[in-house]
Amino acid sequence: MIKDSQIIELFTYISELKEGEPLNKSQLSKQTGISRKSITRFCDKLALEGYSPKDVLSFTSDKLNTVVRALGHRKDFKQPDFKAIYNFMHPARVYKDKPTLEQAWLELYVKDNFNVKTEELHKNCLKFEGLPEQCMSLNTFKRAYKAYVTKHMSEYSALSDTASLGEVNPGSLMDIDGNGDILNWQDQDGVKHRACVFTASLRYSGLIFIYACERKRTIDWAEFIIAALEYFGGAPACIKSDNDVALSYRKKLFNSGGKSFIRNTPNSTMQYLARCYQTDWLLAGPVKPRHKGQIEAFVNVSERLIRNAARIINGTFSS
């Protein structure tokens, strides 16, 4: 950090220059230890405020910070929807090109908020033609997104390095998952049965709900989710699932450069459920069990409970 004494020394040298004498920033940088870029910024800021180098010598520490150190008025930027951007950056399944922050800036921020024409939706075009009023530049957008993710992820980094927003708060997240293989079993009367088992758990308390039906259609998932919410006594802030074909659909999108990428979103039935219960829906990353490690463990617990159930032990069981 540049000290006040260094700034005073800098402007002392500048004030002693004769009229018309050029400013040698390289020499001043060696003498004061301040970079040439900072010297330029300090001089420009001082000239903008209407002060001379001699005036700086009488500044108090507070005024020095206000006049010289200040980076100027920061624009009142229109804030992005960082939650939507986070979901955009973490699609459920990507086969080729992963989405980038540049795509998110162009598609979800610039295009949606400032009505920029499609043919102008390119970072170089925006750079040379000028950004709309209150629009963040790409670099400012990247810094803001990084600060957003860092702030929220630090709250529950102990859970996993891929945890999603707000998972540690009571009633904030319900994980759901299917138990994989269909369970086939035969009772004492020789009647064969099949069951698809679903498991739901609350992330904060670890409370488990196990549900079984004959098939794994979208309507079966919906009935399971409704039963789980009734069992838990209400809806959480967010429901998190994997990218099962009965829960999500794939959409092919194109960025401004013409490259295609795949975005997975909850299907219409799951979106309808989420709206009815006023909750959000998160899809875990592709082939990333750590995104929902707790429910993966509870799936094993539910399978063990089923195998140990007395009514099945007395019959014939296979999976």
For 89-100, b/e burial (b = at least 16 CB within 10 A) is bbbbeeeeeebe
Beta-carbon neighbour count of residue 198 at 10 Å?
Answer: 23
Distance between CA atoms of residues 228 and 210, nearest Å:
8
| Residue 167 within any structural domain of the chain | no
* Residue (of 77, 126, 122) closest to 103 by Cα position: 122
Q: Are residues 206 and 304 in the same domain?
A: yes
Total structural domains in the chain? Answer: 3
Q: Are residues 107 and 207 in the same domain?
A: no
Q: Report yes or no: 214 and 233 within 8 Å, Cβ to Cβ.
A: no
pLDDT of residue 95: 44
pLDDT of residue 225: 92
Domain final residue pick, 98, 128, 156: 156
| Residue 163 within any structural domain of the chain | no
* Residue (of 51, 53, 21) closest to 39 by Cα position: 53
| Residue 312 within any structural domain of the chain | yes
Q: Are residues 63 and 129 in the same domain?
A: no
Q: Are residues 184 and 298 in the same domain?
A: yes
Q: Are residues 94 and 61 in the same domain?
A: no
Distance between CA atoms of residues 235 and 229, nearest Å:
6
Q: Give the single-character DSSP code of 130.
A: -
The tokens of 159 are what? 């859970």
State which residues form the domain around 314: 173-318
Distance between CA atoms of residues 253 and 173, nearest Å:
29
pLDDT of residue 25: 81
| pLDDT mean by block of 10 residues, the chain; 319 residues | 76 76 80 82 77 77 69 66 82 60 85 73 61 81 84 51 51 83 77 85 86 87 92 87 82 74 82 86 73 80 75 53
HSE toward the beta carbon, residue 281, CA cutoff 13 A: 25
| Residue 186 within any structural domain of the chain | yes
CA 121 to chain centroid: 23
Distance between CA atoms of residues 150 and 62, nearest Å:
31
CA 238 to chain centroid: 14
Distance between CA atoms of residues 125 and 73, nearest Å:
25
Domain final residue pick, 156, 181, 198: 156
pLDDT of residue 68: 67
Q: Are residues 24 and 144 in the same domain?
A: no
Task: Please state the pTM of the whole predicted model.
Answer: 0.47
Distance between CA atoms of residues 242 and 289, nearest Å:
9
Q: Are residues 199 and 257 in the same domain?
A: yes
Q: Are residues 186 and 314 in the same domain?
A: yes
Q: Give the single-character DSSP code of 163.
A: P
Beta-carbon neighbour count of residue 285 at 10 Å?
Answer: 19
Domain final residue pick, 113, 128, 156: 156
| Residue 161 within any structural domain of the chain | no
CATH of the domain at 284: 3.30.420.10
Q: Report yes or no: 7 and 63 within 8 Å, Cβ to Cβ.
A: no
